[in-house]
């Protein structure tokens, strides 16, 4: 009676699964068992996508949803749907490892993270915790402790899934779950969404509480969903934010005006991404929207804020300094090296970074005035082979900076953004980023739904 989250290569959305549940074609328990079957498949990526499973808890939640459905009551539109959560969210009674062996002996969490509690109240079936870059501090998704789940594209070669929410993206892309919850400090939801061919949403940071989420950078951390559609992301975002789930109505493309900056975010694009982006812009224009292509000078402020010592480095070092002093040898060397950069930054330099961020936000607001949203590629490249990056520190550092470049701009400006897959048959995955200003989340999701429909109809 179980239905896979993918059928004939097509990803099933939360709405489609909910309709099957409502018609009695499947039960939540059957969806739960199907999820574990896919995770346990030795030929799949489940062993690397997940670091921990909660079989008993998931089955109990699925059975409760089935009982409630038979009684005519549902906690939310997410009730009975299998989801995953990143391994940096607290679950009561379990140790939060944040993708690291350093925390293996830490005391178990006393309570669920706020977002975990909200998912439970909504009736979600949480099947387990997903793998991630250690302490969320890289956009590549490589983890030497628990293995690295491979991107769906070209598994024979073995390519990175993007990070830091690597397992989250793979768990959705491979149909293990219908949706996943990740975090995004510099792109950690949107990067793996783009490299795995799914949809990811980074909300305005303050909308979703961070309580019970292992921190990277308290100034930039945000929590967002990865799923098969914009509507899925809108539903999950509302639940995470403690809001009433919306009925998502797509904006009318003919009433929209976009800016596609020609500077900074379009430098060094590989051919596949560049071609997909141009096709996406043409499709949006064909639907009647106005797309201006011009420089956005505010973007040129970013290298000064990110190229050297930066806000995440300072704040991550403040959090990790004691553990690093005691146990650095157990850290991923790539991650320890990045965190330790924060030790050299003075209080004055940190304040300069914060003031520079404020100036960037003001400049962006002024220069984007009059546009409904901005469009640029989520990631400049397609997923590169894992082996080359794992074996070469210089290649790792260079690729990490390039992968993070376009997404981290939105975290610094405290905006919201969607990454939408740009479909191209037989080609490597690439993401289109739709960028909105702070607190324009609901409007951005409506715009994203419109663009999603346009791209699907190409």
Place of tokens 């936000």: 361
Average pLDDT (390-417) is: 96
Report yes or no on 56 lying in a domain. yes
Answer whether residue 1 is part of any domain. no
The band of 7, judged by pLDDT with boundaries at 50, 70 and 90, is low
Instruction: State whether 269 and 227 are in the same domain.
Output: no
Which pLDDT score is estimated for 8? 41
CA atoms within 13 A on the CB side of 176: 33
**Active-site entry in 28, 86, 165, 229:** 86
Are 207 and 326 within one domain? Answer: no
Q: pLDDT (tens digit, 9 = 90+) per residue, 95-122? A: 999 999 999 999 999 999 999 999 999 9
Asked whether residue 246 is domain-assigned, the answer is no
Residue 214 lies in a domain: yes
Query: Domain containing 214 — which CATH number?
Result: 3.90.1300.10
Is residue 285 located within the same domain as residue 408? yes
Is the predicted pLDDT of residue 145 greater than 70, yes or no? Answer: yes
Q: What is the pLDDT of residues 309-335, one digit of tens each?
A: 799 999 999 999 999 999 999 999 999
* 436 pLDDT more than 60: yes
The pLDDT tens digits of the residues spanning 393-404 come to 999 999 999 999
**Residues 385, 316 share a domain:** yes
Q: Same domain for 154 and 34?
A: yes
Count CA atoms closer than 13 A to 160's CA, side-chain side.
31
Residues 258, 170: one domain?
no
Selecting among 164, 166, 217, 368, the annotated active-site residue is 164
Give the end of a domain, one of 208, 241, 274: 241
Catalytic residue among 100, 165, 171, 188: 188
Q: Are residues 89 and 234 in the same domain?
A: yes
Assigned token pair, 127: 């099947």
How confident is the model over 14-72, as pLDDT tens digits? 999 999 999 999 999 999 999 999 999 999 999 999 999 999 999 999 999 999 999 99
CA 234 to chain CA centroid, nearest Å: 13
| Domain boundary pick from 197, 213, 241 | 241
Q: Is the pLDDT of residue 420 over 60?
A: yes
pLDDT at 425: 59
Q: Residue 100: what pLDDT?
A: 98
Structural domain range at position 133 = 6-241
The reply to whether 215 and 341 lie within a common domain is no
Mean pLDDT on 178-198: 98
| Residues 126, 449: Cα–Cα separation, whole Å | 26
Can you read off the two tokens belonging to residue 299?
A: 């973007």
Residue 164 is a catalytic residue: yes
Of 241, 261, 296, the residue that ends a domain is 241
Q: Could you tell me the pLDDT band of residue 168, with boundaries at 50, 70 and 90?
A: very high
**Three-state SS letters, the chain:** CCCCCEECCEECCHHHHHHHHHCCCCCHHHHHHHHHHHHHCCCCCHHHHEEEECHHHHHHHHHHHHHHHHCCCCCCCCCCCEEEEECCECCCCCCCCCCCCCCCCCCCCCCCCHHHHHHHHCCCEEEEEECCCHHHCCCCCCCCCCCCCCCCCCCCCCECCCCCCHHHHHHHHCCCCCEEEEECCCCCCHHHHHHHCCEEEECCHHHCCCCCECCCCCCCCCEEEEECCHHHHHHHHHHHHCCCCCCCCCCCHHHCEEEEECCCCCCCCCHHHHHHHHHHHHHHHHCCCEEEEECCHHHHHHHHHHCCCCHHHHHHHHHHHHHHHHHHHHCCHHHHHHHHHHHHCCHHHHHHHHHHHHHHHHHHHHHCCCCCEEEEECCCCCCCEHHHHHHCHHHHHHHHHHHHHHHHHHHHCCCEEEEEECCCCCCCCCEEEEEECCCCHHHHHHHHHHHHHHHHCC
Q: What is the mean pLDDT of residues 370-383?
A: 98
Mean pLDDT estimate for the chain: 95
My answer on whether 221 and 316 are in the same domain is: no
228 with 265, same domain: the answer is no
Residues 274 and 178 both lie in one domain:
no
358 tagged catalytic: no
Does 304 have pLDDT greater than 80?
yes
Q: 163 and 185 in one domain?
A: yes
Residue 247, in any domain of the structure? no
What are the two backbone dihedrals, phi and then psi, of residue 435, each rounded to the nearest 5 degrees?
Answer: -110, 130
Mean predicted confidence (pLDDT) in 441-449 = 98
**For residue 99, is it within any domain?**
yes
Quote the CA–CA distance of 366 and 379 in Å, as a whole number: 25
Number of domains in the chain: 2
- Flag whether 248 is in a domain: no
Whether pLDDT at 4 is above 60: no
The reply to whether 113 falls in a domain is yes
pLDDT at 400: 97
């Amino acid at each position: 009676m179980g239905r896979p989250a993918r059928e004939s290569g097509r990803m099933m959305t939360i709405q489609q699964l909910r309709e099957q549940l409502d018609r009695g074609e499947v039960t939540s328990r059957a969806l739960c068992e199907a999820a574990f079957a896919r995770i346990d498949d030795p030929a799949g990526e489940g062993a690397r996508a997940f670091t921990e499973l909660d079989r008993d808890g998931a089955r109990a939640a699925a059975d409760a949803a089935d009982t409630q459905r038979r009684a005519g009551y549902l906690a939310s539109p997410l009730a009975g749907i299998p989801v995953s959560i990143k391994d940096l969210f607290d679950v009561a009674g379990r140790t939060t490892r944040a993708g690291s062996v350093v925390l293996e002996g830490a005391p178990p969490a006393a309570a669920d993270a706020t977002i975990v509690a909200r998912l439970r109240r909504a009736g979600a079936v949480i099947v387990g915790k997903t793998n991630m870059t250690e302490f969320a501090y890289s956009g590549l998704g490589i983890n030497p402790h628990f293995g690295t789940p491979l991107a769906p594209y070209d598994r024979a070669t073995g390519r990175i899934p993007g990070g830091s929410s690597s397992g989250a993206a793979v768990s959705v892309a491979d149909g293990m779950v219908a949706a996943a919850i990740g975090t995004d400090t510099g792109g950690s939801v949107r990067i793996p969404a783009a490299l795995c061919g799914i949809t990811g949403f980074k909300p305005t940071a303050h909308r979703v509480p961070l309580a019970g989420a292992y921190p990277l950078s308290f100034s930039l951390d945000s929590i967002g969903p990865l799923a098969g559609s914009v509507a899925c992301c809108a539903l999950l975002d509302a639940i995470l934010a403690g809001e009433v789930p919306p009925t998502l109505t797509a904006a009318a493309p003919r009433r929209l005006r976009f800016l596609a900056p020609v500077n900074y975010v379009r430098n060094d694009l590989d051919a596949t991404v560049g071609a997909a982006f141009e096709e996406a812009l043409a499709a949006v224009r064909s639907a009647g929207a106005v797309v201006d292509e011009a420089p956005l000078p505010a973007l040129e402020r970013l290298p000064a804020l990110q190229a050297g010592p930066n806000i995440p480095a300072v704040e991550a070092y403040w959090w990790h300094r004691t553990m690093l002093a005691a146990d650095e040898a157990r850290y991923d060397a790539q991650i320890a090296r990045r965190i330790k950069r924060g030790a050299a930054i003075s209080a004055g330099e940190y304040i300069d970074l914060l003031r520079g961020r404020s100036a960037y936000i003001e400049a962006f607001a002024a220069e984007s005035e009059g546009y409904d949203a901005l469009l640029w590629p989520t990631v400049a490249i397609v997923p590169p082979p894992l082996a080359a990056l794992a074996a070469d520190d210089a290649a790792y550092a260079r690729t990490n900076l390039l992968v993070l470049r376009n997404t981290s701009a939105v975290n610094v400006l405290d905006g919201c953004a969607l990454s939408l897959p740009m479909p191209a048959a037989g080609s490597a995955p690439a993401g289109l980023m739709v960028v909105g200003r702070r607190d324009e989340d609901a409007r951005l999701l409506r715009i994203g739904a419109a663009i999603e429909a346009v791209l699907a109809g190409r």
